[in-house]
Amino acid sequence: MARRKYQTLEAIEALSLQNKKLRAWVADLQAGTYVNCVYCGHRYGPLQTTPVSLAEVLKKHIAVCPDHPMAQLLKCAQATDHALSSLLAVRDGATDQFLFHLQCKIREAIAEATRQ
């Protein structure tokens, strides 16, 4: 059993090292190139102010891009999380009217996010 755990830890360390090497390789490939958002066309390029890893910059852009579906999903998830947090905060004293109001708010947030 202990030997298997040690082998698993070694495998994880090896994969982690390989992951770091591959990320560095991707960053090297992207150096001197442009990366575009395929939904809104925003372009990130090889400027001195742009970080080496354009993939990280693009991930951050996707979270706020008004045209990207992942940004819409993020908004829905945030609205749902807020609604659930509110529900948990008052669950002991929740009335049917409050729950109905909360359900309407969730549906409005989802509808708004999917319209964009």
Per-residue pLDDT of 77-112, as tens digits, reads: 888 878 877 776 666 666 677 777 877 888 787 777
* Confidence label for 27 from pLDDT (cuts 50, 70 and 90): confident
Report whether pLDDT(114) > 70: no
The stretch 51-66 carries a mean pLDDT of: 79
Ranges 13-27, 48-62, 75-89: which has the least confidence: 48-62
The stretch 63-74 carries a mean pLDDT of: 88
Q: Of 4 and 63, which is predicted with more confidence?
A: 63
* Coil, helix or strand at residue 37: coil
Rg from Cα positions in the chain: 22
The Cα angle at residue 99 between residues 69 and 103, in degrees rounded to 5? 20
User: In 3D, which of 77, 39, 78, 80 has the Cα closest to residue 61?
Assistant: 39
Report whether pLDDT(57) > 60: yes
Report whether pLDDT(9) > 70: yes
The stretch 67-85 carries a mean pLDDT of: 84
